[in-house]
Structure 1
């Protein structure tokens, strides 16, 4: 078994390689969602509601990476810039340092990475609160995330496939990649050597879903040394199996020097897209010049001559929305219904399972204490 000291050394090396963090104040455009159910994962929630929204707005859920904040990720990726132009609404779940000292979503924890538990359930509750408060079109809910946020995107797509029309996984990992810190570090270097059907079975067994599956886009830097691009291969194999598609794509293109492949269903609808960004390391691809300019380069937000934000939004049909001058009703902090009280006819979702108001200390206590003590010793946590 790999020693804890070796794991901590790996974390130290990863932190050093990551360079400056994005915790410093960025020009914040987001506002906090103060109440969204029982919140068993003890996360924060922020949102962006543009001044003009579509008549029946779409919702995009955006998950930041390690060392990042919701405001910092939005500033880097430029999502609120597109929301202003096209009238869709944004939700940004945000990790707290008390949950993870590096602000990573806990995608490797069994307390958080399965349906109706911990952080996964908290994010679902946030989404249902946004549906209730802002009249979201429940057929147009999408999710994307970077790195740990990308891994959590895989988890949300597998755990709640009935909730999402599509997802985009950026520098992430396949669903079921890890259940503890050691497995997480090993998976980041090299995913399990499983067949596509074995990987697909992990998704199929994550819920009792029998309906259509969400479409998936995969974005990964070919030179990523933090989360190796073999993880993108595993994500692709996993979702090709889920969608019952052949390995050969319907088309392959070169876009700005990057390989793009796409898989369609029998009716010609795109189900899986795969972008491999040449010579790019660990981060979200940006284009900051030209007509597609969107976002701001910073650590892990990398100029690549291609805007993942714009291309993801376009593939989901979000850039076609007609906006209207309409202020959405605000969330009433005192009287807003909790997600547990939403009816299936109103939200288009089945009733939430019951959950305790707070995360049980036993879920994370002993393991979290060991990791935090080691990180303090390594100088990674105050």
Structure 2
């Protein structure tokens, strides 16, 4: 696996990298309260949004901003077609040097007092201002945004019908930067998840590339275990399917409805699976053209895509980008690692 020292060096270089320049289709959302996490909020509201529409919350990854994530995933384009709203919480560099959501900071991943509460406040404002159906709120995100998606599903479960975690990590298994790095590399951690009391537990879909060397595949396995336990589902899936470069498994309730899903993209590294030929999304950094649009598939699972858009089986996929083979991790002294993290500006 990739060494901690290599990861620290890579993150240090990322600090000076700003998000790519892309067309910005989003508008600022202001006035939401409380905002203990000091986050920015961006939205896309289709001109023909109807009362009772759905809301998708989309969380970007590290070194990205909301506009870049929207451009790559195509959520606002699909929203225009299908008439739902999209909310993009956005990290500020003052909170995290690499623009990562702080999924590993205890102050930000509780129900109150940090970034999670800020995101919940944004959702409440959009729901109220645009007559959104509160039973049709969904959330998704990549990497740190995927990990923060897990945070939101665990701490504010009553806000969401379902969520999709892409290249993300289990909730509550890492506190502090060093533990976060270890968890990204797949070191063992408990997958036990205690969520806030809720009348209904959200459905969860977990997406991961088999060649992801940044957030290794073991985290997908841990997420599946975590949410199967929450839903009290057995170890064996009730549904399974395969495509040219993907596999899908689902754990279902007694009525046959999928409560936990797992999507694996063979040979794909760290990023969002996209298919620009579908007309949704664009290839770019961490937006990997594998011939399968995760945005369309996720939206289909949430009942947001009209049948005409989803009538065909995904076409044969192009070869997926493969991450370099990982190397063995050396052992290290905690004080030395933390000193390097502080020097790099990655630790508070």
In structure 2, relative to structure 1, the CA distance for the partners of 1:182 and 1:284 (3 Å cut) is same
Deviation at 1:14, TM superposition (A): 4.7
Cα distance in 2, alignment partners of residues 193 and 38 from structure 1: 32
In structure 2, relative to structure 1, the CA distance for the partners of 1:87 and 1:224 (3 Å cut) is same
Q: TM-score, normalised by structure 1?
A: 0.78
Alignment partner, residue 41 of structure 1:
37
The Cα offsets for residues 125-156 of structure 1, whole Å up to 9 and x where unpaired, read as: 00001111011100000000000000000000
Alignment partner, residue 246 of structure 2:
258
In structure 2, relative to structure 1, the CA distance for the partners of 1:371 and 1:44 (3 Å cut) is farther
Alignment partner, residue 82 of structure 2:
86
In structure 2, relative to structure 1, the CA distance for the partners of 1:53 and 1:189 (3 Å cut) is same
Alignment partner, residue 180 of structure 1:
176
Of 6, 9, 32 in structure 2, the residue corresponding to residue 12 of structure 1 is 9
Alignment partner, residue 31 of structure 1:
27
In structure 2, relative to structure 1, the CA distance for the partners of 1:39 and 1:372 (3 Å cut) is farther
Is the contact between residue 241 and residue 248 of structure 2 (CA under 8 Å) also seen in structure 1? yes
In structure 2, relative to structure 1, the CA distance for the partners of 1:299 and 1:22 (3 Å cut) is farther
The 5 A counterparts of 1:177-256 are 177-194=173-190, 199-200=191-192, 202=193, 204=194, 206-209=195-198, 211-256=199-244
Q: Over aligned residue pairs, what C-alpha RMSD do you find? A: 2.4
The Cα offsets for residues 163-200 of structure 1, whole Å up to 9 and x where unpaired, read as: 10000000000011211001000000014344xxxx24
Structure 2 stretches lacking a partner, 5+ long: 309-337
In structure 2, relative to structure 1, the CA distance for the partners of 1:228 and 1:15 (3 Å cut) is farther
Cα distance in 2, alignment partners of residues 141 and 371 from structure 1: 41
Alignment partner, residue 280 of structure 1:
268
Bigger drift between 246-255 and 78-87 goes to 246-255
Tell me if 1:375 matches 2:344.
Answer: yes
Alignment partner, residue 342 of structure 1:
none
Tell me if 1:53 matches 2:18.
Answer: no
Deviation at 1:106, TM superposition (A): 0.5
The Cα offsets for residues 87-122 of structure 1, whole Å up to 9 and x where unpaired, read as: 000000000000001000000001101111210100
Tell me if 1:147 matches 2:136.
Answer: no
Cα distance in 2, alignment partners of residues 372 and 49 from structure 1: 40
How many equivalent residue pairs?
Answer: 316
In structure 2, relative to structure 1, the CA distance for the partners of 1:22 and 1:278 (3 Å cut) is farther
Deviation at 1:305, TM superposition (A): 1.1
Deviation at 1:59, TM superposition (A): 0.5
The Cα offsets for residues 57-79 of structure 1, whole Å up to 9 and x where unpaired, read as: 10100000000000000000000
Deviation at 1:38, TM superposition (A): 2.4
Deviation at 1:251, TM superposition (A): 1.7
In structure 2, relative to structure 1, the CA distance for the partners of 1:170 and 1:39 (3 Å cut) is same
Of 306, 321, 332 in structure 2, the residue corresponding to residue 320 of structure 1 is 306
- Secondary structure at 2:159's aligned position in 1? coil
The Cα offsets for residues 310-333 of structure 1, whole Å up to 9 and x where unpaired, read as: 0001100011399xxxxxxxxxxx
Is the contact between residue 34 and residue 117 of structure 2 (CA under 8 Å) also seen in structure 1? no
Is the contact between residue 248 and residue 262 of structure 2 (CA under 8 Å) also seen in structure 1? yes
Alignment partner, residue 282 of structure 2:
296
Cα distance in 2, alignment partners of residues 311 and 238 from structure 1: 22
Deviation at 1:11, TM superposition (A): 2.3
Cα distance in 2, alignment partners of residues 31 and 372 from structure 1: 35
In structure 2, relative to structure 1, the CA distance for the partners of 1:7 and 1:262 (3 Å cut) is closer
Q: TM-score, normalised by structure 2?
A: 0.85
Higher relative contact order (CA 8 A, sep 6+): 1
- Secondary structure at 2:108's aligned position in 1? coil
Cα distance in 1, alignment partners of residues 341 and 167 from structure 2: 25
